[in-house]
């Protein structure tokens, strides 16, 4: 992990990784909000969840690909450039039903 100074400059290829997740929050030393990048191959998805236990608002930002956001069972197409803001309560997941990889930035506070 890079030392915490007045700023931290890193390329996403330098982030600590666990599976398909790039741990931006940990790698950058963030303390005020969460931020991670997930890479989903065709057919993959993240676990369905809500944020009521942590009382966090989330924003999903599709960086590349065309995954499907699923909010309380409703499927929402999400091509690159899509932003989705969520209150803590809705159940959510991201599913990559396309034939190409997808990269999504998840932020929470």
pLDDT tens digit string along 39-86? 999 999 999 999 999 999 999 999 999 999 999 999 999 999 999 999
Contact 18, 65 (CB under 8 A): no
Name the pTM for this structure: 0.88
Residue 39 Cα distances to 47, 69, 92, 105, angstroms: 13, 14, 17, 9
């Amino acid at each position: 992990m890079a030392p915490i100074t007045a700023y931290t400059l890193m390329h996403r290829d330098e982030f600590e990784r666990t599976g398909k997740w790039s741990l931006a929050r940990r790698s950058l030393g963030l303390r005020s909000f969460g931020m991670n990048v997930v890479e989903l191959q065709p057919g993959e998805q993240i676990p369905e969840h809500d944020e009521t236990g942590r009382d966090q608002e989330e924003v999903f930002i599709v960086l590349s690909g065309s995954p499907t956001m699923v909010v309380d069972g409703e499927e929402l197409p999400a091509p690159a450039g899509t932003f989705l803001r969520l209150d803590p309560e809705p159940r959510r997941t991201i599913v990559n039903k396309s034939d190409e990889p997808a990269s999504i930035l998840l932020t929470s506070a």
